[in-house]
Amino acid sequence: MGARLLKKRLLFPLRDKNQIQARLNSVESFLAFPGQRKDLQDALDRVYDLERLCSRVVLGLGNARDMAAMKVSLGQLPAIKDLITAFSTPDLLQDINDKLDTLDDLYQLINEAIRDDAPVTLREGNLICEGYNKKLDELTTLERDGKQLILALEEKEKATSNIAKLKVGYNKIFGYYFEISRAQAASVPDYFIRKQTLVNAERFITPELKELETKISSAWDERLSLEYDLFIDIRNRISAQSTRILDTAHQIARLDFLVSLAEAASKYHYLKPKITQDNIITIIEGRHPVIEQSLEPGRFVPNDVHLNQQDHELLIITGPNMAGKSTVLRQTALIVLMAHIGSFVPVESADICLVDRIFTRVGAMDDLRRGQSTFMVEMNETANILNNATENSLVILDEIGRGTSTYDGLSIAWAVAENLVEKNDKGVKTLFATHYHELTDLALTHNRIKNYSIAVREWNDSIIFLHKLIKGATNRSYGIQVAGLAGVPDIVIQRAHEILRNIENKEYNQDGRPNLAVSKKNTEKTNTPHQIPLFPPKEDPLRKLLETYKPEETTPLDALQILYKAHELLKQ
């Protein structure tokens, strides 16, 4: 029940400061009394899923095992109610305690009626406790003690008739009978009915014997039928109280939810956030609540994030792949979300303002069923953010525009960032991770945009990830180094470095060929004929000027004049 409520509250977080603060105060109270919290957890562990059990009972599917589980659960309620009072009883815990119905009458009914060792099926018997129904007890006694009852009747008839050798017998034809020797046959009472004469004995029956035999033979079927009817009646009586059961289940779920938040805060060293209404998010030494648990203790690198609507509204975060940009984005969103459900958060300190929604554009996947490419899905999510985000929202953008050409993607990313920082003249608090380093120029045009990057260190043509968010932009993505770390063959990595140098130097060489394709192995002269260009290069005036002069015939004055002419040509 608590797990379902936790999921629901993650999907529907609070937006009211007082309600959030009430939950935080309750978690804080549980943390202050670890011993009592452990006792309360132990009691909650013995409570089964009352919501599911109640549903089975209402639908007519509940069996005796369900009833036994419900009895165990209801039996813990008085102790749980007493344990709640051991805490400092914040308003929320007091509300739970006041609304917690211990359902004593239902517990008493199940305890008196349903056997703990009852079978799963309802037609095997052994469902109802002895003492609950008088008629059922009689049937049970007949079935269990039938032979003793027959023998008791035998002793009774011996005393009444003074026939010492009277004995009870049984066969499949007559059933039970009294057998008397022929010598004593004359002494039998009048109510004895002769059934059979043998050589040395006579066999008789009596109305009382036949009645007892009938009861014994039918006791099994009657008992099974009566137990089933009694069980159905009990189940219907409990079903009629389903509203009370569900209300109690909800209070137990609320309590379990808060205790679990306290347990997580204690186990993972979460601290209480400060909830504000000033549109500022300040996270000091924030950690990702999931990733840090998958690493060895002390390996996760915490980071600070500060967002406001004055000078840190949109943070452009650059850095290489695998450095931790996405982790910083996601942990910020998770910390804000956790605070809004009333949970302590993985930080050293945090001031979290109320947000109306958290918008995210992370990951990349297509939707082939709807005929949407990865880029189209990305743009749909971006459109939703731009159309619905307000100044009270938090936006997380991880790589906008990478699904199309470089210039188109850069243009879209730039325009999206501008729109978010200028929206409704107030802007939206945004974390924007990107590999488009040109976006860092936005900080020069908007004073509410700031550049941040994930720190790395280069070592022997490789990189070391520091996973630390620092102020300032980076102009490199270190993609080739990351490819090397991923196991891409060295020959491919070397060629990638070569092509990168060509691109960074110049796009075309002096022969008009793209430098992108140039490498050491194909710059060597070969006898292979080159393709004649379709459009010959234009005549170079500077080259033509130099061809008209011979160095050995040129005077110093002529050389100075040539230099002046060449300088003029360069200006043209």
What pLDDT, on a 0 to 100 scale, did the predictor assign at position 88? 66
Question: Which residues are paired to 430 by β-bridges?
Answer: 314, 395
Q: What separation in angstroms does the CA of 253 have from each of 12, 29, 58, 82?
A: 16, 18, 20, 17
Q: What is the pTM of this model?
A: 0.75
What pLDDT, on a 0 to 100 scale, did the predictor assign at position 461? 65
Amino acid at 488: V
What pLDDT, on a 0 to 100 scale, did the predictor assign at position 526? 42
User: In whole angstroms, what is the distance from residue 496 CA to residue 483 CA?
Assistant: 10
User: In whole angstroms, what is the distance from residue 51 CA to residue 1 CA?
Assistant: 7
| CA atoms within 13 A of residue 351's CA, in its CB half-sphere | 10
What pLDDT, on a 0 to 100 scale, did the predictor assign at position 513? 53
What does the angle CA 363 – CA 366 – CA 367 come to, to the nearest 5 degrees?
A: 125
| CA atoms within 13 A of residue 119's CA, in its CB half-sphere | 9
User: In whole angstroms, what is the distance from residue 236 CA to residue 231 CA?
Assistant: 9
What pLDDT, on a 0 to 100 scale, did the predictor assign at position 534? 47
What pLDDT, on a 0 to 100 scale, did the predictor assign at position 209? 76
Question: Which residues are paired to 465 by β-bridges?
Answer: 456
Question: Phi and psi for 290 in degrees, rounded to 5?
Answer: -95, -50
Report the SS3 class of residue 379. Answer: helix
Q: Could you tell me where the DSSP H helices lie in 85-125? A: 91-99, 104-113
- Whether residue 479 contacts residue 319, with contact meaning beta carbons closer than 8 Å, is answered with no
What pLDDT, on a 0 to 100 scale, did the predictor assign at position 371? 63
User: In whole angstroms, what is the distance from residue 541 CA to residue 547 CA?
Assistant: 10
What pLDDT, on a 0 to 100 scale, did the predictor assign at position 151? 74
Task: Tell the burial category of 150 from Cβ atoms under 10 Å away from its Cβ (0-12, 13-18, 19+).
Answer: middle
User: In whole angstroms, what is the distance from residue 192 CA to residue 173 CA?
Assistant: 18
Report the SS3 class of residue 271. Answer: strand
What pLDDT, on a 0 to 100 scale, did the predictor assign at position 290? 94
Per-residue pLDDT of the chain (572 residues; tens, 9 = 90+): 999 999 999 999 999 999 999 999 999 999 999 999 999 999 999 999 999 999 999 999 999 999 999 999 999 999 999 999 888 677 899 999 999 999 999 999 999 999 888 888 887 777 888 888 888 888 777 766 666 777 777 788 777 777 877 888 877 676 778 888 877 777 788 788 888 788 788 888 788 777 777 777 667 778 888 889 999 999 999 999 999 999 999 999 999 999 999 999 999 999 999 999 999 999 999 999 999 999 898 899 999 999 999 999 999 999 887 888 999 999 999 999 999 999 999 999 999 999 999 999 987 665 666 667 778 888 889 999 999 999 999 999 998 887 777 788 889 999 999 999 999 889 999 999 998 888 999 999 899 999 999 988 877 767 788 889 999 988 677 778 778 877 889 898 888 888 877 777 765 555 555 555 555 555 544 444 444 444 455 677 777 777 777 777 778 888 888 888 888 877 76
Report the SS3 class of residue 241. Answer: coil
